[in-house]
């Protein structure tokens, strides 16, 4: 499984914004010494081995967030803010058409990851959205960042999310991830 360079670049933006470019550069330069796959630099279209990406992600979370794996959720939120504000999905913002957004959302998985699957939709007369991940690699990065992205995207599309339920998750030792999001009537 490979991860597109876009995912690592997104982390760069988050860390540089929160801790400064110098802190990012120091961390990245030190990590690259042990990760030859990143030594030539990272472009959005770069294919990073998933093992290298997850080692990088784990080291980043340990270094900047004292190992708090729940920060992956915020990474997903930050990515949704970009994608639906100035990124490729900005046209969905405020559309109030969560079903249309979720119909194209599986393409997002494949924009970042070379294997696995993501599905999402609306159920119960528009009162709930659901999202499911199947990945050959089980890591909290996939669960929290993707579900954080979905929750924030649903909010930006034009509704409010009253809450979410982790029905299944890598965080619970399950083989896949399945979340339900309770929506307001206006989503």
Q: Given the structure tokens 């990088």, which residue do they identify?
A: 56
Measured CA distances, 23 to 15, 68, 117 (Å): 8, 18, 34
Task: Return all residues near 67 (Cβ < 8 A) that are at least 6 apart.
Answer: 61
Neighbours of 144 (CB within 10 A): 24
| Structure confidence by residue, pLDDT tens digits, 10-24 | 899 899 999 999 999
CA distance 31 to 56: 7
- Among 143, 118, 141, 144, smallest CA distance to 131 is for 118
Q: Any idea what the Cα angle at residue 59 is, between residues 14 and 117, rounded to 5°?
A: 70
What per-residue confidence (pLDDT) applies to 64?
A: 98
| Structure confidence by residue, pLDDT tens digits, 40-61 | 889 888 999 999 999 999 999 9
**pTM for this one?**
0.90
Task: Return all residues near 138 (Cβ < 8 A) that are at least 6 apart.
Answer: 170, 175
What per-residue confidence (pLDDT) applies to 129?
A: 94
């Amino acid at each position: 499984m490979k991860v597109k360079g876009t995912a690592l670049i997104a982390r760069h933006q988050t860390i540089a914004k929160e801790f400064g470019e110098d802190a990012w550069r120091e961390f990245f330069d030190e990590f690259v010494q042990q990760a030859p796959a990143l030594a030539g630099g990272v472009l959005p279209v770069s294919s990073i081995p998933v093992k290298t990406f997850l080692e990088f992600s784990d080291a980043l979370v340990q270094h900047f967030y004292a190992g708090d794996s729940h920060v992956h959720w915020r990474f997903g939120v930050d990515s949704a803010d970009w994608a639906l504000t100035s990124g490729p999905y900005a046209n969905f913002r405020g559309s109030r058409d969560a079903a249309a957004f979720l119909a194209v959302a599986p393409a997002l998985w494949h924009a970042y990851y070379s294997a696995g699957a993501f599905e999402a939709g609306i159920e119960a007369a528009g009162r709930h959205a659901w999202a499911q991940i199947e990945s050959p690699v089980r890591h909290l990065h996939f669960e929290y960042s993707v579900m954080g992205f979905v929750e924030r995207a649903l909010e930006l599309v034009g509704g409010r999310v009253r809450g979410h339920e982790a029905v299944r998750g890598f965080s619970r030792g399950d083989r896949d991830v399945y979340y339900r999001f309770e929506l307001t009537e206006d989503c």
